[in-house]
Amino acid sequence: MIQFLVIGSGVSGLSLALKLASIGKVVVIAKTQLSDANSPLAQGGIASVTHGGDSFDKHIQDTLVAGSGLCNKEVVVDAVEQAPSRIKDLVQWGVNFDTCNLDTLSLTKEGGHSKRRILHVADKTGLHIHSQLLARVLEHSNIELKENLFAMDLLTSLETNPFDPSDVQCFGAKFLHSQTQQQITLLAQHTILATGGSGKTYLYTSNWSGATGDGLAMAHRSGAKLANLEFTQFHPTCLYHPHARNFLISEAIRGEGGILINSKGQAFMKNEHPLEGLAPRDIVARAIDKEMKRSGQDNVFIDIRHKSKSYLQERFPQIFMKCLEHGIDISKDPIPVVPAAHYQCGGVLTDKFGRTSIQQLFAVGETACNGLHGANRLASNSLLDCLTSSHNVYKHIGSKSNNMDISKAKLHTPNNEKHETITSEINDDELILVTHLWEEIRRLMWNYVGIVRSTQRLRLAQSRIQNIQNEIDQLYSHFHKHKNIEELRNIALVAELTIKAALKRKESRGIHFHMDYPEKNKTAINTVL
């Protein structure tokens, strides 16, 4: 039996693996290649108090304000106060943050922050951190890496009382090899979901292709509690170009003076918020959405032409080159941008130590809802969350002795009796149907469960997703397991749960804006499913 099974190879999974490896054997599962995750796409940086002009109290307050009353303050305080130590971990693992000189960190400012506190590596912070962690993991003798394994379902047991959900224990998971289609069962004493988010549920997203909410779907099918799925953060500024639909234009561009303008060159954010383009993301995304609807235009622009070409090439090399590839010289041309689904603030419900409602099952990073982000994530708190939530799981597991006895457990996977008669291999025609259903879900979510919502739109979405679920059940019942079908049923389930959560929240809070309930309720309550 594996001691620590970490499902996911982003910053959360890799940083946790490095720490757990000091106390036992770790197996890290990658859905595709180890380098594929959302983490390498994080451009902006990581938030941490590093200088005397800033303070923990200010970072805490900024996080609470962005979270719109729904943050767990204990978790926020813990993460903010841990941040300098987690930065030291990264430095020890080989991460080299940008500096102004040999002794002073180069700090930028992003939306919702009262101080410059974002550490960065040009505009590819996530990529640099991820590559350094991966290099350390690859050379660690106590860590085993497995690629191309799609996590299908958790392996659980109702060991003593099938009528008491609190008695459910996790003993690992079942996987499908995406190339051979072979099914693999891995038993584990501790299973950690580090599977990332669900941005691919939406038509436009900044996420990588594998962000299909697999951890959420698996956890829900096994009976784990999920929370606050209605809070999908839409990043205000993704590059608007037919050949670059998921390329993010970092908030740091606005932090360094980039101005949001419309097609007439007007800086429209001046009328929306005192912080203008550096207002919290929910406000900026809604303002852009309103401006696009008012003008009838497909996008707005970021104007940073007042900065020199040499500065832009040095500070934002990745953005500069990507835009140039598509005929946009950001030193001469404004950057066309649109909002896109970016980050889920909800997830598998956990406490500060990553514990879920299923024993021996943990969740970290974007997969988890631990209360740090509340109703709207503060910019650059995501990489911080990856490190602090993983560190807390490590601290908790390292301080506990494990007494799991699998010998008497009757292992169970969701619906494992339902599809025993499957005999058919899926063919190209059915795979085309899978693609069409996926695209229908993503367009449905974008049109009806997007930046601005209404009861009518949500109910229409709920009705249609139920019909789609019936079609997916037919596919799932007639064919052998296939990665494409597994992903399809996961995004359909996450979409269904997101709609259900959005209908339950009869108010506007953070990134959930409801036209029929435009005011915020006096009491902030989590939506638990």
**What residues form DSSP beta bridges with 151?**
175
**Token digits of residue 437:** 């259903």
The residue type at 421: T
What does each C-alpha distance from 95 to 17, 90, 116, 133 come to in angstroms? Answer: 17, 5, 20, 8
DSSP state of 512: B
Query: DSSP per residue over 335-391, as a string?
Result: EEEEEEEEEES-EEE--TT-B-SSBTEEE-GGGEE-SSSTTSPPTT-HHHHHHHHHH
Q: Could you count the other beta carbons within 10 Å of the beta carbon of residue 346?
A: 29
Cβ neighbours of residue 433 under 8 Å, at least 6 residues apart? 475
- Whether 281 is a known active-site residue: answer yes
Cβ neighbours of residue 368 under 8 Å, at least 6 residues apart? 193, 347, 348, 349, 350, 354, 389
The Cα–Cα gap between 369 and 287 comes to 27
Give Dmax over CA atoms of the chain in angstroms.
70
Say if CB 402 and CB 362 are below 8 A apart.
no
Say if CB 22 and CB 143 are below 8 A apart.
no
**Token digits of residue 389:** 């939530």
The Cα–Cα gap between 339 and 234 comes to 6
- 430-447 exposure pattern, b = at least 16 Cβ within 10 A, e = fewer: beebbeebbebbbebbbe
**What residues form DSSP beta bridges with 341?**
205, 234
Of 11, 4, 86, 172, which is closest to residue 392 (Cα–Cα)? 86
Residue tagged active-site, from 281, 315, 505, 509: 281
For the annotated catalytic residues, the residue numbers are 281
